Structure 1
Amino acid sequence: MLDRQTTHALRAEPQESYTDPALLEREQTHVFDRDWVMVTRAGALPNPGDYVTAKLGRRPIVVIRQEDGSIRAFANYCLHRYAKLLDGSGNKKRIVCPYHAWTYTMAGELMGVADREGFCALKTREMGLEELACEVALGFVFVSRRFDLPAPGARLGELAALLANHRIEDYEDRIVVDEEIWEGNWKALFENFIESYHVTYSHKGSIGPTNPTKLAEKGPTGHDFFSLHHNSYRPEDYPPIHNAALTADQRRQFHVIALYPNGLAAVDPNFMWWIALEPMAPGRTNARWGLSFSPHAMAGMEDPEAYVEAIRQTIVVATAEDKEMVGRVQEGAAFGSSERGYLHDWMEVYLAEFRQYIDGLCAAD
């Protein structure tokens, strides 16, 4: 039994961390307004004009593939009376405001104003949507309000080296779900994903039998912008391998990855499950998620489409199981106790590292 007086034990965050509106407001300002935020996968926007709308914290944005193949991000409001321009995802060659039909190019330039003579004092040809910093790293799209931050590729260079044999930047993005509402704080969802302590006990109907908690392996610790550990397969459940570059260890490992501050990924030899979190309220989060597949697996399997569907069904069940537990955390934290819980010495050390990162941003001036 854990001695409650032990001073070196890792402590969980206070319950109010999941319920306090003022704290969420501070996170919106100090984290989502000031850091790189993961939005989606570049492969979810394969064609010029493909777009997805999202939230940069509380701020509506749109990410859109350009004619030259680049991806750019803009504030998602009209320069006239601030109406939101786009919803959901789709493809547009022009962005037309639904309110008064002001029209913008894919590059955010204002190209048309209805009843133009009524705005004679405006130099509309010089006007455009507010652009945001937008970078692609490891196949993920990151957006920021700031242009002075180190690029995500530089921040995640060590992670890229660890995953070099997988080449997740080349994984085919087959499934994307833009809206998946969780009744829980965004940090509770993030923390649930990045520890394997719960897998056997919470995921009885999905990944628990094949990736039992007892086989979880510690990964490197102390990285500034990410964490990584392994939730390994039982020998009898090793997946078929189609990527010859993978090592013996990589062939049996299911990598669990945190991309600070809001990105998550689980990387298997054949597929990847990723999530990008958008906090909506202290106890409510949108989790955009998707499934991406190794091109080696898609080329090597007899029926790749059946495999994609089988993985989708497994992840749907796993998501439902996780949703229940995150909801239970949210309900339990509503008690408001000042007594802090305890963390597993290594399987939950990544929670402590994540909180150090968030707390560091929130403490900054």
Structure 2
Amino acid sequence: MSLGQMVFDPDSALPHVAFRDPAILAAELDAIWHSDWVFVTTADAVPNPGDQLPVIVGRQPVLLIRQQNGDLAALSNLCAHRGTLLVDRPANSKRIQCPYHAWTYDDGGRLLSVPHAPRDAVDRSAHCLPTYRVESWHGLIFVSLNPDVEPLVERFAAVEPYVAAHGLDAVAHRSEQQETQEWACNWKLAILNAMESYHLFRVHPETLEPFSPTKGAYYIAGSARATATGGSTASGDDYLLISLPPGFVGVFNSGAFFWQAVHPIDAERCAVRTGAAWGTASGARPRSRSRIANWFSRWTASAAYGLPDFLPEDKAICERGQRGAIGDFAPGPLVPIERVVADFGRYLNWRLNGAEPPAVHTAPDTGENR
């Protein structure tokens, strides 16, 4: 199947070629990771003027900066002289100076000085650092290399009422608790697994299913741009799960927010970052003793505790899926509980093939898949 024929059927599983073909990944890097919004970090990672955080968007090194006036900026992290990486670890400075030849920029990317060069040897105005779109949404920071990408308020409009109702703005993000793993699977396998609840009873029979049973999962509202799903829990406090393509999924329950962010490494490997938000800026813990709250209590009490216990199970099943992707099969139909997966298929068709997706779908009484 050639790339030009890769139109995905949103009502069926993705074909295996989508998980292994480098040509498809190249198309995704161009049309998705270099053209759409990409989650990079949480706002608490750059709280103070002068904070600098190097991140990667697709294949582009980007420097996220909290400017002296308090605004966020996203600049190329490559020196305009010979392309050297400017910042390779979190820092705080009013200036950006290349470690190679000390070309120096301000926090807006303007070239300020070129050492040991005649005054007119370099046109400083022509060698500023490129700037990129950056926006924050409920403490989550996204960057896009595309200046014409739609604003986040439009992109996530389908899930905004549900996120606001769950009080995401009231919790404190904890960037110091973020961890990144390399998974031996295509990025789509990892993000699809994160967004659907169909697999809980089989993959997580002891870690998740008793807390949030598969039969309690339901679709709320969504489209190719963003989807909200939910589910009942053993404690009686329904969880909210938001899927924000291409690579972010978060679940909110009992005053705690747990998220996963996925980014491609190559066609058969991806980086999976996990993080959490809970309590308030003053350090208060969630009042409810839900399973999620208990995870976070143990997670923060001891660095040795590590990540929640269901993540190794997710990693194992995604890597198993990748091992199967060497062969081809006739993709099976999605069942109703997988409607969020269909939304993601429409996202791929939108970004890769220019097919404008359908309008937002809202499930009657938020119980379509109960």
TM-score where L is the length of structure 2: 0.83
Alpha-carbon deviations, 1:131-186, whole Å to 9, x = none?
Answer: 00111122211111222232101222331212222231342112443632121111
Matched to 1:257, the amino acid is: I
Alpha-carbon contact 2:13-2:332 (below 8 Å) kept? yes
How far apart are the structure 1 equivalents of 2:169 and 2:244? 14
Please state how far the C-alpha of 1:205 moved relative to its aligned partner.
5.0
Structure 2 residue aligned with 1:337: 328
**Alignment match of 1:308 (pick from 268, 289, 296):** 296
**Alignment match of 2:312 (pick from 320, 343, 347):** 320
- For the pair 1:351 / 2:341, whether they are aligned, the reply is yes
Structure 1 residue aligned with 2:233: 233
- For the pair 1:39 / 2:40, whether they are aligned, the reply is yes
Unaligned runs of 5+ in 2: 1-8, 356-370
For the residue of structure 2 that corresponds to 1:116, the secondary structure is coil
Alpha-carbon contact 1:206-1:315 (below 8 Å) kept? no
The 5 A counterparts of 1:28-177 are: 28-117=29-118, 120-124=120-124, 127-175=127-175, 176-177=177-178
How far apart are the structure 2 equivalents of 1:146 and 1:362? 15
Unaligned runs of 5+ in 1: 1-7, 239-251
Alpha-carbon contact 1:168-1:294 (below 8 Å) kept? no
How far apart are the structure 1 equivalents of 2:47 and 2:208? 30
Please state how far the C-alpha of 1:296 moved relative to its aligned partner.
9.4
Matched to 1:346, the amino acid is: P
Please state how far the C-alpha of 1:315 moved relative to its aligned partner.
4.2
Change (3 A) 1:342 1:88: farther
Change (3 A) 1:303 1:163: closer
Matched to 2:215, the amino acid is: K
Alpha-carbon contact 2:224-2:346 (below 8 Å) kept? no
Alpha-carbon deviations, 1:28-72, whole Å to 9, x = none?
Answer: 011112212221211222112223222221211121111222111
For the residue of structure 2 that corresponds to 1:347, the secondary structure is helix
How far apart are the structure 2 equivalents of 1:20 and 1:109? 40
Alpha-carbon contact 2:254-2:286 (below 8 Å) kept? no
Matched to 1:331, the amino acid is: R
Alpha-carbon contact 1:207-1:314 (below 8 Å) kept? no
Structure 2 residue aligned with 1:215: 216
Change (3 A) 1:21 1:41: same
The 5 A counterparts of 1:235-254 are: 237-238=235-236, 252-254=237-239
- For the pair 1:187 / 2:191, whether they are aligned, the reply is no
Change (3 A) 1:294 1:357: same
For the residue of structure 1 that corresponds to 2:31, the secondary structure is helix
How far apart are the structure 2 equivalents of 1:67 and 1:303? 39
How far apart are the structure 1 equivalents of 2:61 and 2:342? 30
How far apart are the structure 1 equivalents of 2:150 and 2:189? 27
TM-score where L is the length of structure 1: 0.84
Change (3 A) 1:9 1:29: closer
For the residue of structure 2 that corresponds to 1:153, the secondary structure is helix
Deviates more, 1:17-26 or 1:90-99: 90-99
For the residue of structure 2 that corresponds to 1:357, the secondary structure is helix
Alpha-carbon contact 2:10-2:343 (below 8 Å) kept? no
Please state how far the C-alpha of 1:84 moved relative to its aligned partner.
1.2
Change (3 A) 1:13 1:298: same
Structure 1 residue aligned with 2:241: 256
Please state how far the C-alpha of 1:197 moved relative to its aligned partner.
1.1
Structure 2 residue aligned with 1:3: none
How far apart are the structure 2 equivalents of 1:220 and 1:125? 47
Report sequence identity in percent: 29
Change (3 A) 1:57 1:139: same
Alpha-carbon contact 1:9-1:342 (below 8 Å) kept? no
Please state how far the C-alpha of 1:323 moved relative to its aligned partner.
0.8
For the residue of structure 2 that corresponds to 1:218, the secondary structure is strand
Matched to 1:38, the amino acid is: F
For the residue of structure 2 that corresponds to 1:158, the secondary structure is coil
Alpha-carbon contact 1:227-1:258 (below 8 Å) kept? yes
Structure 2 residue aligned with 1:245: none
